[in-house]
Amino acid sequence: MRGMNHNMSASREKKKRQEQLTAEAASAQNAKKGLSKTVKTVLGIVIAVVLVAAIVFLGMISSGFFEAHSTAAVVSGHKLTPAMVNYYYTNTYQNNQQLLSIFVDSETPLSEQAYFTDEYATWNDYLLDSALATAASTYAIYDEAVSKGFELSEDAQASIDSQLQSMDLMASIYGYGSGDAYLSAVYGTGCNKSNFKEFLTVNYLAQEYENSVISSLVYTQDEIDAYYAANPADFDSVTFRMFNLTAEADTTDENGEDAVSEEALAQVEEKAKAMAEASQGSEETFLELALENTPADQQESYNADTSTLREAYTENDCLELYRDWISDDARQPGDTTYVYNSTNGYYVLYFVENVDMTYQLPNVRHILIAPEDSTDEASKEEAKAKAEALLADFLAGDATEDAFAALANENSEDTGSNTTGGLYENVAPGATLESFEDWCYAEGRQPGDTGIVESDYGYHIMYFSGYGKIYRDYLVENALMEEDYNAWLDAALADVSRTLKSSRFVATR
């Protein structure tokens, strides 16, 4: 019984252990199955997240996120996004169109065309660096303006708002969905009205501040007189004639190059001496001998009158070879001389006159009436008739300067003066169109004089306002202003810097 009970007990224990092992195995198997399900679920979530991230990343690329938020360059301490660099780059590209039309192939990317000096590898490198240089200078001036508490004028703010509004109009005209889309198409991905506004604001503020600096440069008569007294050679002017007599090469030098012999040079000196002596006191004779001494194959096209004239040259404009002779206080109209030109001949000089720089400059108002087609005679006649009618109406009325100014603001097509009553003050020689200047400088011109002048731009209804600054003082003021402006600019740009971080998202061409 005891043995049987013992065997039965052992059998039960064995069975119990088997059942326990079976249960444990089943539990482990179930646990294994449960873990596999969890891993699959987690893996699925990870894959989904990666896919979403990839979609978002691609969306960010296509939407211009990186162009609008990453850093492409650092200029004067400011981080510029690729979008902001695009604005400066595109403007630089447009401003260099004439240069590019000469040197580059429009069908080939600029990044594949070598620049014409060793300074840059490609034309694209040149444009990008030039754009960053402009941006760096602009931001440096902008920073100074902000530090001085300078603010945009109402006119500048209105202009910015108008340009932003026009983007939507341009988008509509050219089939883009929005102003942002239009800006992106013109300047590059990532460009939109928000960062375009920032670009405009920085540039307008810098420009207005720079203009305010220039406007602040005002000088007293004592300052003007003192500057002139210290620098008369920069302002006192003379008119003279000069003809270059040259010797033909008739030998070779030690390097085998063509050269002029001493005998040939001596013969030219004799001609120069004879010409100077013969034309003493006679400008007409000087012109005749200039033509006579011109090579036979060039005489038909040579104009001695214009080719030999050096009009209103300052002492510092003159070559050192003859400067002392020209500026001699004893110099008189009709004096002549000849000097070695330091190469292969002689200059023959004829002194015409000292130029009076103390006359007053004219102030004038005008109304420009431009023909719709300057190549069409009927269109030109229509513009002329309109100008004549406007002048007749003016003369039939009060005919005052204020009335003319109002008429100019209403009718003139000259954008440079049609908001200031058509006014141009201190019209300096050579500063305007020849026909315009001739009318202003006509002998006996008096305030209140009117007339009509034709130019390549159309018909100008003229009103003589009176006389302004003395010409010499005007030139001295400009010189003082240039010196002081350059000194300010050098200081403002002293710490200017530019660093290209990445051009990956910059829309280069």
DSSP, collapsed to helix, strand or coil, labels residue 301 as coil
> % helix / strand / coil in the chain, to the nearest 5?
55, 15, 30
Confidence at residue 70, expressed as pLDDT on a 0 to 100 scale: 85
70, 134, 279 from 163: Cα distances, Å: 26, 21, 64
Mean pLDDT of 323-339: 97
Decide: residue 189, CB within 10 A, 0-12 exposed, 13-18 middle, 19+ buried: buried
Q: What is the pTM of this model?
A: 0.77
497, part of any domain: no
Examine the pLDDT at 14 and tell me if it is beyond 50: no
* pLDDT tens by residue, 346-366: 999 999 999 999 999 999 999
| Those residues with Cβ within 8 angstroms of residue 402's Cβ, 6 or more apart along the chain or in another chain | none
Tell me what pLDDT residue 59 has. 39
Provide the pLDDT for residue 254.
Answer: 72
Same domain, 118 and 249: no
When pLDDT is cut at 50, 70 and 90, the band that residue 3 belongs to is very low
Q: Nearest Cα to 387, choosing from 455, 453, 446?
A: 453
Residue 220 in tokens: 């007293």
Give 346-393 as a 3 state SS string: EEEEEEEEEECCCCEEEEEEEEEECCCCCCCHHHHHHHHHHHHHHHHH
Q: What's the mean pLDDT in 318-333?
A: 96
38-52, 65-79, 196-210: segment of lowest average pLDDT: 38-52
- In a domain, residue 83? The reply is yes
18 vs 343, residue with greater confidence: 343
Same domain, 22 and 114: no
Residues 181 and 244 occupy one common structural domain: no
Within this chain, do residues 242 and 351 fall inside the same structural domain, yes or no?
yes
Confidence at residue 2, expressed as pLDDT on a 0 to 100 scale? 40
Q: Encode pLDDT of 234-291 as tens digits.
A: 999 999 999 999 988 878 777 778 788 989 999 999 999 999 999 999 999 999 999 9
334 and 431 assigned to the same domain: no
**Model confidence pLDDT, tens digit, residues 115-168:** 999 999 999 999 999 999 999 999 999 999 999 999 999 999 999 999 999 999
pLDDT in tens, 107-116: 999 999 999 9
Mean pLDDT, range 437-457, rounded to an integer: 97
Res 170 pLDDT > 70 = yes
Predicted local confidence at residue 20, as pLDDT: 54
410 lies in which domain range?
360-475
- Look at residue 184 and tell me if it is in a domain: yes
pLDDT > 50? residue 60: no
pLDDT for residue 298 is more than 70: yes
Q: Does some domain include residue 315?
A: yes
Q: What pLDDT shows up at residue 38?
A: 53
Same domain, 367 and 351: no
Among residues 466, 408, 418, the alpha carbon closest in space to that of 440 is found at: 466
SS3 labels along 80-120: ECHHHHHHHHHHHHHHCHHHHHHHCCCCCCHHHCECCCCCC
Over residues 465-476, the mean pLDDT reads 97
Residue 65 has pLDDT above 70, yes or no: no
Q: Taking the mean position of all CA atoms in its chain, how far away is CA 244?
A: 37
- Asked if 454 and 409 sit in the same domain, the reply is yes
- In this structure, the answer to whether residues 447 and 375 fall within a common structural domain is yes
Q: What is the Cα–Cα distance from 249 to 265, expressed in whole angstroms?
A: 10
Same domain, 333 and 383: no
Residues 6+ apart with CB under 8 A from 1: none
| Domain identity same for 174 and 206 | yes
Please report the pLDDT score of residue 16 as a whole number.
Answer: 52
pLDDT the model gives residue 146: 97
Comparing 35-44, 79-88, 334-343, 385-394, the range with the smallest average pLDDT is 35-44
Q: For residues 186 and 302, what is the distance between their CA atoms, to the nearest angstrom?
A: 50
Show which of 306, 339, 355 is a domain's final residue. 355
Chain-wide mean pLDDT for the chain? 88
Indicate the pLDDT class of residue 53, thresholds 50, 70 and 90.
Answer: very low
Residue 230 lies in a domain: no
Within a domain: 491: no
- Give residue 407's pLDDT band: very low, low, confident or very high (50, 70, 90): very high
294 part of a folded domain: yes
Question: Residue 374 pLDDT more than 60?
Answer: yes
Cβ 345 vs Cβ 246: under 8 Å = yes
Could you give the C-alpha distances from 94 to 87, 97, 112, 130, 131, in angstroms and in order? Answer: 11, 5, 19, 12, 11
Half-sphere exposure of 234 (CA within 13 A, CB side): 13
pLDDT at 461: 98
**pLDDT above 60 for 6:** no
The dihedrals phi and psi of 430, each to the nearest 5 degrees, come to 80, 0
For 270, other C-beta atoms within 10 Å of its C-beta total 11
- So what's the pLDDT on residue 255? 76
Q: End-to-end alpha-carbon separation of the chain, Å?
A: 106
Mean pLDDT lowest among 16-20, 135-139, 184-188, 330-334: 16-20
Domain C-terminal end among 333, 355, 377: 355
Q: 304, 323, 355: which is the final residue of a domain?
A: 355
Write the burial class of residue 21 (CB in 10 Å: 0-12 exposed, 13-18 middle, 19+ buried).
Answer: exposed
Instruction: Provide the pLDDT confidence category of residue 37 given band limits of 50, 70 and 90.
Output: low
Say what the pLDDT of residue 57 is: 34
Q: How many structural domains comprise the chain?
A: 4
Report whether pLDDT(63) > 50: no
Q: What is the band of 36 on the pLDDT scale with cuts at 50, 70, 90? A: low
Do residue 134 and residue 189 come from a single domain?
yes
Q: Compute the distance between CA of residue 101 and CA of residue 496 in angstroms, rounded to an integer.
A: 31
465 plus 379 within the same structural domain: yes
Structure confidence by residue, pLDDT tens digits, 486-497:
999 999 999 999
498 within a domain of the structure (yes/no):
no
| pLDDT above 60: residue 501 | yes
Q: Domain containing 250 — which CATH number? A: 3.10.50.40
